[in-house]
Structure 1
Amino acid sequence: MLLSLNNLKPAKGATKKRKRVGRGNASGHGTYSTRGLKGQKSRSGVSNLKRKGFKMTLMRISKKRGFKSSKIKNQIINLKDLNKNFKDGDMINPKTLFNKGLIDDIKTKIKILGMGELDLKNIIVDDLKMSAKVKIQIEKNGAKIIFKKSKIKN
């Protein structure tokens, strides 16, 4: 077959089907036509240019659906994680946990929970929250616990 202008086709996956909105609910884009409920963006004639430069304002406006709490949650470490990543006599603090890849961020609070048994002896736990069960288990193994900012809570 000869290659000519009338039989050229775009490469597979190069083109995307156009989203046909407002053609009934069975299409998946009916009723609100992917615009959500009320608000300026859901009305006709709105453009992205009107919204440009108002990012902080948009972030402050409460969303139409869902909710994400702004409360910072504790990052959780279990005793079994400590057993895998540390040796006897090691110092366990936010910096060492971050370096081992056990936590994502040093600044958020970290709490040690009691899943698994602690096999480590003479460890030094520095500035970490922990459950009461964990505190008993750590002290039983001859560890030293140092608190700076955080307090023990269940």
Structure 2
Amino acid sequence: MKLHTLTPAKGSVKTNKRLGRGQGSGGSTAGRGHKGAQSRSGYHSKPGFEGGQMPLQRRVPKFGFKNNKKVYYKAVNLDLLEDLAGKNTGGNISLQFLIENGIVGKSDKVKVLGRGELKSKISVEAHKFSATAAQAIEKVGGTATTVK
């Protein structure tokens, strides 16, 4: 075996068809079909163009509005805090504790709401409290601390 005798395996190399290079190269249309814009050089269709038919993005109605300045809070109710109070917290439920237990995400803002009943004395950290939740926490001797 010598370098000048090496050749690729049989059938592994195929030459491309040279279209648009005269009559002997596969016909006059060069694989582009007959006439029309798509057969011409420089043809470019606009994104979403459907041949003159009303395009999908114009057929489907627009609706809704998303206010980018609105602050969305993740709701945590008193009944959930009551369940968490028995989980070795020492009566202290911080934002970090809620994140570690998978109740809220680390980028979520937390608002404590007043659904359920609170029996144990706990101190809670959150971004916001509803009036009934803060009242219920303080009624059993706990503290509601607002965090920024």
- The one-letter code matched in structure 2 to 1:95 is Q
Matched residues in 1 for 2:93 and 2:129: separation? Answer: 12
Higher Cα radius of gyration? 2
Measured after TM superposition, the shift of residue 81 of structure 1 is: 1.1
Taking every aligned residue pair, what percent have the same amino acid on both sides?
32
Q: What is aligned with 2:17?
A: none
Matched residues in 2 for 1:102 and 1:143: separation? Answer: 21
Q: Is the 8 A contact 2:112 2:126 kept in 1?
A: no
Cα offsets for 1:12-60 (capped at 9, x unmatched): xxxxxxxxxx8xxxxxxxx635x2119xxxxxxxxxxxxxxxxxxxxxx
Name structure 2 gaps, 5 residues minimum: 1-49
- Cα 1:65–1:146, aligned 2, differ >3 Å: closer, same or farther? closer
- The TM-score, its normalising length taken from structure 1, stands at 0.50
Name structure 1 gaps, 5 residues minimum: 1-21, 23-30, 39-62, 150-154
- The TM-score, its normalising length taken from structure 2, stands at 0.52
Measured after TM superposition, the shift of residue 120 of structure 1 is: 1.9
Measured after TM superposition, the shift of residue 111 of structure 1 is: 0.5
Report whether the alignment pairs 1:112 with 2:108. Answer: no
- The one-letter code matched in structure 2 to 1:98 is I
Matched residues in 2 for 1:125 and 1:89: separation? Answer: 11
Q: What is aligned with 1:100?
A: 101
SS class of match (2:124): strand
- Where do residues 80-99 of structure 1 align in structure 2 (5 Å cutoff)? 80-87=79-86, 89-99=90-100
Q: What is aligned with 1:32?
A: 54
The root-mean-square deviation of aligned C-alpha atoms, in Å, is 2.7
Measured after TM superposition, the shift of residue 94 of structure 1 is: 1.5
Q: Is the 8 A contact 1:93 1:128 kept in 2?
A: no
Identify the range of structure 1 (81-90 vs 123-132) with the bigger mean alpha-carbon deviation: 81-90
Matched residues in 2 for 1:118 and 1:138: separation? Answer: 7
Matched residues in 2 for 1:32 and 1:80: separation? Answer: 53
SS class of match (1:111): strand
Measured after TM superposition, the shift of residue 68 of structure 1 is: 2.8
Matched residues in 2 for 1:119 and 1:89: separation? Answer: 14
